[in-house]
Chains A and B, each alone.
Chain A
Amino acid sequence: MIRKYCIALALLLCWGRNVLAHEADAKHTDAEQAAIYARIPPEFSFSVGTYSTARTGASRAGEYDLLEDSPTLSGEARIYSFPHRLHLDLDGKNRKDYFGEIGYGYRNLLLFRGYNRTLFHNLDNIELIDLDSTVSPPAVTRNDVGVNYGVKTAMNDLYLKFRAPRFPLHLYLAGQSFNKEGKVQQRFLSGSAWFNDRERTSRSRQIDWRTRQYTVGINSHLGYLEADLSHGEKRFDAGGDNVLYDAYNRAGFATTLRSADTYPHNRIAEITGSSNTLKVHTTYTGRLVASATLTTKEKKNDFSGAKADYLFGSGNITWMPINKLTVFLKYRRIHRDLDNPGSITVSGRNGNLYQDLTVRRSISAVTDTYSGGIRYRPVADITLRTGYTFERIDRKDAEPWGIVDKTRKKTLTVSGESRLQKNLRFKAKYTHRETANPAYNTDPAHADEGAFSITWIPRTGIHTLLHYTLLREARNNLLFFDGDGNPIDGTDDRKTQRDRVLGSVSFLLSEKLTLTTSYAWFRNRTTQDIVYTLSTTPFPDRIDPGVPYKDSAHSYTLNLSYAPRKKVRLNTDITRTTTRQDFAPGSPALREPVSIASFSKQRIRETRFHLGGEMELRQGLRLGLDFEYTDFNDTQDNPHDELEDGIIRILQLNVTKKW
């Protein structure tokens, strides 16, 4: 740490000397300053108003809104008193939802920017359900009935830059912090967790999580070459209930016996890390441009001692041999080296130890990615692109996890775009990927993706868009592992398909009125085997082949912008989204007496309406209106799922004065 302070001090001293020297050279009288810098009157605005909410049912409809009434306060100031420049911006809806920004510049020698965004996230209180009460266990214990959950999240960014006068050198300090504070639901397994004494439990936990990251860096350009060197420190601190304690019964096999006691669980560990980054690149003013980045990161789990070392490297060359042709060459390397202590001991509050438990080594890997591509523009309105990527993944310590240690991926991409006519533009892209030895069932062996979009302006004032994407993936040789680590081969191929459609039409009905309608359709379909076991002795693993899963969504949007008078603006949006998701196991063992898909069957209809308006009055006065209505409707009313109906209404009114 002392070394880092020395570096920062040396850099600041160097910058300070340069600034003082510059000040001595550039002293001017007030009159001269006035001649050099233009006089610009400052701008101020100030706004007050109200934020009113009404809620019926669950808060999900207003997921990112604090649902309580509040006065609002906003203001903005832009002051150009050269060589100083100051910008302040504040927008406060309520005590947990506000935005603030401050910017200050002194000549081009110092630049400071700070942001704060704070929001409130309403979280679900999911009701644990005993799907088959005729059978015991499980027991279900809800210790949080009626508790409202939510987290206030504050995101802060700070950026401070010094520039050396008359020399292309910058020192900078960047800081980020993310603070989450509130109450969340914790669902976990208690009892003995053994089949005769299993208990699904929910309770609340207070959180106060803080992620902080600081980066100090220096950069300069030295002729044709530019370089940036930075060092970063990152820390995650877990406050609040960072570890939970609950009573557990005696559990397990005789060989791995754990005595009854009050044990810790669901611990949130503190993480520390640091990074060093070196970036270099050539200037952009030539036909040949090259850049490279090398980053090393170290992370450590302060509780368990688990460590992770990363190396990220990239090199890029862009070459334009002739004006119509550009060649791209890229190389990436990610080296991940994970290490853990290999064993752990857990202490109960009454002194019982659950000790020397062996821990599997985590998987380390090296991923090298080589890419090449060209962009060719034969004529002005046609652009063609093609690229090829080869990815090589070599894993270490993967075998105990039942994962292959080598995977190879090859990807070919072809795309093009053209202005077929003056009012018609067409874009298309096709990607094909082959994977040898995919590591996980979700990794496809073959994948094809095609997309196109057409923009058409049939006549002045009408703008249309059609976009479609289709992704198809397939693989065979699905592999599962049972509770004892024995491999189970799937029987059918896994197939997935994803469709995305977007259509949009905009009408410029008059100079005062614009109407935009759009429709989007999403569909995911996956078909694959499900593996299950009926009885304990022996383990006859069974396969339900080709189980189909499907989810889909339709979304309709209408937007109307209307400016009836020069100083009056109205804008309204209506969006209705309907979704449905389900999967259908074929085996009776997975369907009776209760289905494994029982709470996956969901249908949602969400309607959002927004009306915004603004009217300018005299002497810089402005009236603003903002109304939101959201209806989140669980149309399936499946008693097993976590969805609940809710309607929220939020009205904001404000008066703004501008000077």
Chain B
Amino acid sequence: MGVIRSLPFILIIYTLLLPACGPLKVPKPILPIAEYERLLAGRLDADYVGTDQCLSACHFHDQIRRDFDASTMGAQLSEETGLPLVNCESCHGPGSLAIAGLTPGKVARDARAGKQTPCNYNTFIPIKELPAQAKSLICLKCHTGNATFNLHDWNVGEHAAADVSCLDCHNIHAGPDLKVQTEEIAGMCFSCHPEIQAEFFLPSHHPVPEQRVVCTDCHQQHGSPYGKSLRRETVKETCTKCHGEKEGPFLYEHAENTEDCTTCHRPHGSVNNNLLALQMPFLCLQCHPTHQTQQTETDGSVRDLKGAIFTRCTDCHSRIHGTDTPSVGGTSKGRLTH
């Protein structure tokens, strides 16, 4: 624990040493990848010809050019911006074979005729035919150092293991912003998880169909080391992001049950109110006996108590997620009533 507490000091030292790291201040690929891309293209004699041969020629007037210009990657197409250089060939591989035989004159004539000059697309990396992991690698070779660090666990995440690639959600040429918009998220997730979408049809549900809450509020789509692709370490950490009043710690805990909210709740949807997994009181009776149903009076008569106790448990046990106040009944057994 001492090491952890000293992390802030390590951070300061790291920061102060930073200006001394001059030799590292050169943008360069993490690994040489040009040979790898040539191999994927299938021709070792392919070579890199630069973006000018692509966007400034055939794609000059089309939407791909406009979308790229409006993105960070578009700005990176120009070396003078000082940004790490990214261009068409960074993803599509070397383009010399694709434009072999094309001349500026033919491109100009086609442009005057109002048509786009086709290049030999078959010589590029066959992205659509690559396995999902290889498709993702095209992105990860640069975005592995993503500033949000949300790709930290991509390789151990459910999506990577299930052959989902970056391109299944991010349409690189669709627009200037590669980020999936908030209102698109649920539909995108449900296209592969329709059985989860069906749970939101149930009468009690989180407002995902209403687009007030999105799947990625709870789930980390880019991979998570935690179960169910949760964005936070545990179910409780995830739920108390919004339901902070139930987080605790409390003086009187509900044993360990509040560490896993799914013991009692179905997070997507339920037929029962408050997303309860089962209807009360059966939900509680799974672990707890019901109260005594009768009481013997001093005169020996037996009085029925069912009217008092056959109700929703939380009508009386109102602090079921934990409390700091003892029960009112004269004992201190943590009944979670107050």
Contact = CB atoms under 8 A, between A and B. Distances in A.
B128 interface: no
Contacts of B201: 520, 553, 555, 557, 575, 577
A589 B294 CA distance: 9
A301 B248 contact: yes
B178 interface: no
Contacts of B30: 221, 223-224, 283, 285
Contacts of A494: 286
A129 B311 contact: yes
Instruction: State the 7 A-B residue pairs at the shortest beta-carbon distance, nearest first.
Output: A252-B330, A132-B307, A211-B244, A357-B332, A531-B289, A170-B147, A520-B198
Contact of A167 (B1, B24, B70, B294): B24
Contacts of A334: 233-234
Given A284-B137, A296-B4, 7 more contacts: A26-B82, A189-B328, A209-B244, A271-B248, A285-B33, A314-B226, A535-B295
Contacts of A465: 194
B50 interface: no
B156 A328 contact: yes
B203 A577 contact: yes
Given A221-B144, A289-B155, A360 B334 contact: yes
A258 B69 contact: no
Interface in A312-342: 312, 314, 316, 318, 328, 330, 332, 334, 336, 338-341
A638 to B, nearest CB: 11
A309 B155 CA distance: 29
A188 interface: yes
Interface residues of B, number: 137
A300 B251 CA distance: 11
A188 B144 contact: no
Given A169-B18, A251-B329, A535-B296, A593 B290 contact: no
A283 B315 contact: no
A428 interface: no
Given A291-B152, A536-B292, A36 B207 contact: no
Do most interface residues of chain A lie in helix, strand or loop, or is the interface mixed? Answer: strand
Interface string A255-273: 0111000011111110100
Given A166-B25, A178-B242, A219-B147, A594 B328 contact: no
B161 A330 contact: no
Interface string B1-33: 100110110111011101101001111001101
B252 A36 contact: no
Interface in B184-214: 194-195, 198-199, 201-203, 207, 210, 212-213
Interface stretch (B87-95, B99-107, B109-117, B253-261): B253-261
A346 interface: yes
A306 interface: yes
14 contacts: A37-B75, A64-B210, A107-B83, A163-B147, A218-B11, A293-B152, A296-B4, A344-B324, A467-B194, A522-B202, A534-B294, A553-B202, A579-B271, A590-B290
Interface of B: 1, 4-5, 7-8, 10-12, 14-16, 18-19, 21, 24-27, 30-31, 33, 66, 69-70, 72, 74-76, 78, 80-84, 131, 136-137, 140-141, 144-145, 147-149, 152-156, 161, 163, 176-177, 182, 194-195, 198-199, 201-203, 207, 210, 212-213, 217, 225-226, 233-234, 240-242, 244-245, 247-253, 255-257, 259, 263, 271-273, 277-282, 285-296, 302-308, 310-312, 314-316, 318-319, 323-334, 337-338
A105 interface: yes
A127 to B, nearest CB: 11
Contact of A583 (B163, B176, B279): B279
Interface residues of A, number: 223
B279 A188 contact: no
Contacts of A269: 250, 324
B81 A257 contact: no
A600 B279 contact: yes
A408 interface: no
Nearest to A530: B285
Contacts of B334: 359-360
Nearest to B281: A596
Contacts of A531: 285, 289-290
A248 interface: yes
